[in-house]
Amino acid sequence: MTSLGIVSPQSMFFSEPLKLQSGAEITDYTLVYETYGQLNADRSNAVLVCHALNASHHVAGRYSEDAATTGWWDNMVGPGKPLDTNRFFVIGVNNLGSCFGSTGPMHDNPATGKPYGADFPVVTVEDWVRSQARLADALGIQQFAAVMGGSLGGMQALMWSILFPERLHHSIVIASTPKLTAQNIAFDDVARQAILTDPDFHGGDYYAHGVVPKNGLRVARMIGHITYLSDDDMAVKFGRDLRSGSYQFGFGIDFEIESYLRYQGDKFSQYFDANTYLLITKVLDYFDPAREFGGDLTATLKNTRAKFLVVSFSTDWRFAPERSHEIVQALVNNQRKVTYAEIEAPHGHDAFLLDDPRYMNVLRAYFNQVWQEVDSGVNGNSVNGAAALGAAA
């Protein structure tokens, strides 16, 4: 049973153009977000939760009695949960280019009056963080007690500490990486090729044709899903189990794993937008904050001010513990306060969404510390609220 109960999203329109890392610009845009808990009087208890590839602003709670409408990190966020909404004011925000309400490829391009489609500008983690900062301004939050995220969400938490060092006290980076490896990019490109070569893709303009590149999206999701699970986990869950007990000597579904992946692919292709998938895999591929610093992650993190919690999972081969070690090493080189937990978990990359008690205990203990700082007022709110507000029209 979810403990936040029924929640509902809100949206905010930003009329000021957002200059993107690519040089392009989004003239105006809407961000959809949810909040849980109460912002305290000195506005020091806000926590931003950043989402990964296929998630959204709907972090916790439900939209109805239907359990299928439960938020994607409901085990982490809620009253009495590790990120306790009785203490913290939690914000989930849907990123630009997504397909869950914030301005994205499915929305009309003001310049043409037609959906952006593949013309939606390619955004980056940096662009997302800048747009999130505007939302924070509009909500009157100058400093976050913490910014947290897993996977692509962790990249945003890390980018926050680089771009806005004064605006967060803690950065919580889970199952993430300072940049993708060639292997990661290769998987992403196979996924993109599946979509781009689907005859129903129509150069990204499939909305006008009344179709969706379902097959491409399905295959993309299947590829992605393989990388989220560990070899062991798949062996335990599916092994070589056969659907009907014997080989069919054809190209239909023989093995349980095939059935599972196809089911996941089908489900995904019914609710996710193909242009968004292309875009977000590019967001992943481009993420490399050390690039501007000649690849020197230590130099990249030199100006950070936050304290860090970095968490990885032993069987995560998508963003392996070694990638987290790189982050920790760079932080240690800068003498930043950092705690690192490496959770021995069989579930691969997906482990960051699951309920491993060792993982949950670390997060719970960490947020207790964050709360003690908020509660004792050590965070203060050195920046006065006047600079806030303004972006929202």
Catalytic residues: 151, 316, 349
Alpha helices by DSSP H, listed for the chain, are 125-138, 152-163, 182-196, 214-228, 231-237, 256-271, 274-286, 297-300, 321-333, 357-376
369 is a site residue for another protein (CB under 8 A)? yes
Nearer to another protein by Cβ, of 62 and 170: the residue is: 170
361 is a site residue for another protein (CB under 8 A)? yes
Nearer to another protein by Cβ, of 365 and 383: the residue is: 365
Nearer to another protein by Cβ, of 305 and 358: the residue is: 358
Nearest distance from residue 340's CB to another protein, in Å?
4
Nearer to another protein by Cβ, of 202 and 364: the residue is: 364
Q: Are 165 and 66 contacting, i.e. CB atoms less than 8 angstroms apart?
A: no
91 is a site residue for another protein (CB under 8 A)? no
Count interface residues toward another protein (CB under 8 A): 23
368 is a site residue for another protein (CB under 8 A)? yes
Among 49, 71, 52, smallest CA distance to 2 is for 71
Among 97, 54, 104, 33, smallest CA distance to 350 is for 54
The contact pattern for another protein, residues 319-348, with x = CB under 8 A and - = no contact, is ------x--xx--xx-x-xxxxxxxx----
Q: What is the dihedral of CA 99, 36, 49, 369, to 10 degrees?
A: -170
358 is a site residue for another protein (CB under 8 A)? yes
Distance CA 224, CA 55 (A): 14
305 is a site residue for another protein (CB under 8 A)? no
Strands 25-26 and 77-78, bridge-based pairing: unpaired
Quick one: which of 67, 236, 365, 393 contacts another protein (CB under 8 A)?
365
Torsion region of 338: left, alpha or beta (phi above 0 gives left; psi -120 to 50 gives alpha): beta
366 is a site residue for another protein (CB under 8 A)? yes
Distance CA 153, CA 93 (A): 11
Among 305, 311, 356, 357, smallest CA distance to 331 is for 305
Distance CA 306, CA 339 (A): 12
Nearest distance from residue 199's CB to another protein, in Å?
49
Quick one: which of 364, 381, 388, 392 contacts another protein (CB under 8 A)?
364
Q: Are 51 and 94 contacting, i.e. CB atoms less than 8 angstroms apart?
A: yes
Helix-, strand-, coil-residue percentages of the chain, each rounded to 5: 40, 15, 45
Dihedral pair phi/psi, residue 149, rounded to 5° = -175, 160
Nearest distance from residue 363's CB to another protein, in Å?
9
Residues 6+ apart with CB under 8 A from 65: none
Q: Which residue has the tokens 């809407």?
A: 30
Nearest distance from residue 112's CB to another protein, in Å?
51
Nearest distance from residue 130's CB to another protein, in Å?
29
244 is a site residue for another protein (CB under 8 A)? no
378 is a site residue for another protein (CB under 8 A)? no
376 is a site residue for another protein (CB under 8 A)? no
Stretch that binds another protein, among 34-42, 172-180, 249-257, 356-364 (CB under 8 A): 356-364
In residues, how long is the chain? 393
Residues 6+ apart with CB under 8 A from 338: 307, 308, 309, 310, 328, 331, 332
Nearer to another protein by Cβ, of 244 and 335: the residue is: 335
Stretch that binds another protein, among 50-58, 87-95, 237-245, 357-365 (CB under 8 A): 357-365
362 is a site residue for another protein (CB under 8 A)? yes
Nearest distance from residue 159's CB to another protein, in Å?
22
Nearer to another protein by Cβ, of 243 and 325: the residue is: 325
69 is a site residue for another protein (CB under 8 A)? no
Nearer to another protein by Cβ, of 112 and 372: the residue is: 372
Summarize as ranges the residues that interact with another protein (CB under 8 A): 307, 325, 328-329, 332-333, 335, 337-344, 358, 361-362, 364-366, 368-369
